[in-house]
Structures are given as structure tokens and as C-alpha cells.
Amino acid sequence: MNGQSQAAENFVKRIFTFLDETDSQQLAPLVQWFQPAGCKIIVNASAFAQAAGFLETWQRCVVQTQHVVTAVDFHVIPGTGSAVCSVNGKVRFDESGRDKAGQDAAVPAAAGTGATPAAPVGKHRPLWGPYFGLSLQLVVDERALGGDFNGVISSFNYTMVYRPEDSLMAV
């Protein structure tokens, strides 16, 4: 049991670490954690048919994030080989105006208009906005509680439950 709850907590933290990743190479292994067929992914009440589609959208269209786990609980449903996990957390976004690749929306200034040189090349530092509240429900194979995360996620329901007014992000 202790091992199980440790594994559940560890599992959730690792999912969030993946989501916070800016490098698509590093995010890719998360696809393997989702059940290849019949997996339900719901993010802010929008459904994704496949894990790959969701992760690609996440990678391409969501700025860098930082997740914090604040609460985890789970129930193993006897006789089904599966468990339900309920997670609460906080998430904040990089509000520096750059996407995960470090691209911003600035239009290059015309020559001679007092333009500044382009931003220094290299890894930009994120400018974290305020935290949003987060509620996540997972349905996983019981194997996940033994530390085997391969293809275990059969449902993933990710919902933002509160939002700060001073964030630049529209959700």
C-alpha cells in the first residue's frame, strides 16, 4: 500500500514534469504512458482522440508551464485491474510572450527606426505568471501502482478550476 501510494504520487509528478518540458524530444516518451487504443483525453472539457494529438498540441500551442502537485488520492477498483486517481494542483504559464521554442510575436523593426538588436540567442528565462487551479482525474491500470507506467493511462481529465484575474493567459 505504501509502495502503491508512493508510486501514484511519483507517477503524477512525472506526468507533470513531462508536461512542463519545453523540448519535444523530452516530452515524447509520455505518449508511451497512454493506452494506445481507446484512451480518453479531456482537457478543459475538450476531448482528444489520441495521446499523440494532445501532446503535439500541448507542445506546439501551449507556452512553457510549471505544475505543482498539491493533493493526490486514489482508489483501486477491486476486480477491474484499474484504479482511479484524483489529483489537485496548480499551474502557471510563461508570460514572457515567447512560445516553447523561444519565439515571440514581435515583428522585426524596419531598419533605421531605432530598433534594438534581436533578443540574445540562447535559452530565455521564463517569466512566470500567477498560478491557476487544476483538477486532474486519471484512470490507470493497476500496474501503474507497481511502478510500471507503460500504456497504463486509459483516461486523463484535466480541468482548470480557478484562474487569477491578473494573468495574461486566456483559457
Partner 1 sequence: MNNLFQNSNNVGAAAQQAVLQNRVKVGVKGWQNATKQDLVSFVSRKTRIGIQDSYVEGNLVIGFVNSRNEANSLLNWNGVRFAGNALKFEILGDNAGLGAAPGTNNTIALLKAFLYKRYNPQAKMLDLGNLRNDPDLTANGLFSTTSTQSKMFPAMMKLASKEDQMVVESVNLSNNNLKDLNMISSLAQTYPNLKNLCLANNQISRFRALEVWRNKFKDLRELLMMNNPITTEPLYRSEMMRLFPKLIILDSVLLRDESKLQQIYSMPMKLQQFFFETSELGQSSIDFVSNFLNLWDTNRTQLMALYTPQSQFSVCIDSSVPSSSVPNSDQNPTFSYYLPLSRNLTKISSERTKQQRLALGQEAIDKLFKSLPKTKHSLQEQPLNYSLEAFSYPQVNGFIITLHGFFDESGAPEIDANKSTPNTSGNRNRRFNHGHSNSTNKLTKKSFDRTWVIVPNPGGVVVASDMLTIRPYADGSWLEIQAQPQATTQPPVQAQQQPQQQPQIPGIVQTPVPNMPIQGSAGASLLLPPEVQSKLNPVQLELLNRLHQQTRLNAEYTYMLADQSGWNFDVALKGFQDSVNNIPREAFI
Q: Least distance to partner 1 from the beta carbon of 122, Å?
A: 18
**Contact by Cβ (8 Å): 101, 59:** no
- 97-12-44-152 Cα dihedral, nearest 10 degrees: 120
Among positions 53, 81, 146, 147, the unique one binding partner 1 when judged by CB under 8 A: 81
User: CA 56, 57, 61 angle in degrees (round to 5)?
Assistant: 125
Among positions 31, 42, 102, 124, the unique one binding partner 1 when judged by CB under 8 A: 42
How many whole angstroms separate alpha carbon 161 and alpha carbon 171?
A: 11
Among positions 14, 86, 124, 143, the unique one binding partner 1 when judged by CB under 8 A: 86
Among positions 25, 107, 121, 125, the unique one binding partner 1 when judged by CB under 8 A: 107
Does residue 32 bind partner 1 (CB under 8 A)?
no
Copy the grid coordinates of residue 96: 514572457
Stretch that binds partner 1, among 19-27, 129-137, 145-153 (CB under 8 A): 129-137
